[in-house]
């Protein structure tokens, strides 16, 4: 599957799943824009990894939850590059806590970044895609959005909301040959999961039929499929990458 000649933006692309997606799309031939908000060193490390592998990439700093920042950056990207063909809404944060004690600020921050940020970026990117009559949008959801999780009502709500966003956008954009799908990872080895105590990780593995945590590259493979030519008749769907934890 070749993405030669395509421009791809991956939000939250500097680390973890986002980094793996950036590298995978670049290897397939896309010119990748690596979005970050607070860690320029990590974003540059991702870019250098892509360049070393023979790909092309740029870094792009903006906060997906800030409409002015996100819309301005994407508008400039499209103007400078000529097109934006692929958008992967991967940026996400957690502010965990039991609902009874959760601060409203922690609810708002997670919803603004994980859900509203995806809406803002997709809205800005879709204009160029509709004009070109071709586009691929992939939203990175989560198993938590389907199964729920104690202590994560904000994160679960945001990720569940991405399902409605995905399906509604898929119906709106289909006539312009723009597909919109989601990937819902389970527990993946990233900075977010590495902080979990060993006993918690072992308990999680015991609940996964494949008995292990996933790798960022597992998620990147699903994204690569959804933006490639083999998935042209797939839209409004979710691929679950969770080792069988949720079926």
pLDDT tens readout for residues 150-163: 999 999 999 999 99
* 115 pLDDT more than 90: yes
Mean per-residue pLDDT of the chain: 97
Return the higher-pLDDT residue of 200 and 57: 57
Q: What's the confidence (pLDDT) of residue 95?
A: 97
Please tell me the predicted confidence (pLDDT) of residue 193. Answer: 79
Instruction: Tell which residue, 166, 55, 51, 151, has the closest CA to residue 110.
Output: 151
Question: What does the pLDDT read at residue 86?
Answer: 98
Q: Write down the H helix ranges in 67-190.
A: 67-81, 104-111, 117-132, 144-147, 153-173
Are residues 42 and 18 in contact, defined by beta-carbon separation less than 8 angstroms? Answer: no
pLDDT recorded at residue 216: 98
pLDDT at 1 over 90: no
Across 31-40, 96-105, 183-192, 225-234, least confident range: 183-192
- Report whether pLDDT(192) > 80: no
Q: At what angle do helices 16-27 and 216-227 cross, to 10 degrees?
A: 50
Looking at the predicted structure, is the pLDDT value of residue 33 above 90?
yes
Look up 155 and say whether it is catalytic.
yes
Q: Taking Cα atoms as reference points, which of 71, 68, 84, 69 lies closest to residue 38?
A: 69
Beta carbons within 8 Å of 28's beta carbon, 6+ residues apart: 1, 2, 3, 224, 228
Give percent of the chain with pLDDT exceeding 90: 95
| pLDDT range class, residue 194, cuts 50, 70, 90 | confident
Mean pLDDT over 60-74 rounds to 98
Please, which pLDDT band fits residue 190 given cuts at 50, 70 and 90?
confident
Q: Residue 169 — pLDDT band, cuts 50, 70, 90? A: very high
Catalytic residue among 33, 36, 155, 187: 155
Could you tell me if 50 and 8 are in contact, meaning their C-beta atoms sit under 8 angstroms apart? Answer: no
Query: pLDDT at position 236, please?
Result: 98
């Amino acid at each position: 599957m070749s993405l030669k000649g395509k421009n791809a933006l991956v939000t939250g692309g500097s680390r973890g799943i986002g980094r793996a997606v950036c590298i995978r799309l670049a290897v397939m031939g896309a010119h990748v824009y690596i979005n970050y908000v607070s860690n320029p060193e990590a974003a540059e490390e991702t870019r250098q990894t892509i360049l070393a592998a023979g790909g092309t990439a740029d870094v792009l700093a903006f906060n997906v939850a800030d409409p002015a920042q996100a819309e301005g950056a994407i508008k400039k990207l499209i103007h400078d590059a000529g097109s934006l063909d692929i958008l992967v809404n991967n940026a996400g944060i957690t502010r965990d806590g039991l609902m009874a004690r959760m601060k409203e600020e922690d609810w708002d921050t997670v919803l603004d970044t994980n859900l509203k940020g995806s809406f803002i970026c997709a809205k800005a990117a879709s204009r160029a895609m509709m004009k070109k009559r071709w586009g691929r949008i992939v939203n990175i959801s989560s198993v938590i959005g389907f199964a729920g999780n104690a202590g994560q009502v904000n994160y679960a709500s945001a990720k569940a909301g991405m399902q409605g966003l995905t399906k509604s956008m898929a119906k709106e954009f289909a006539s312009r040959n723009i597909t919109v799908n989601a990937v819902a990872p389970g527990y993946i080895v990233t900075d977010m999961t590495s902080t979990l105590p060993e006993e918690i990780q072992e308990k999680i593995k015991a609940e996964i039929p494949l008995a292990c945590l996933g790798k960022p590259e597992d998620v990147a493979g699903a994204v690569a499929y959804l933006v490639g030519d083999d998935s042209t008749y797939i839209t409004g769907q979710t691929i679950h990458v969770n080792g069988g934890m949720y079926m």
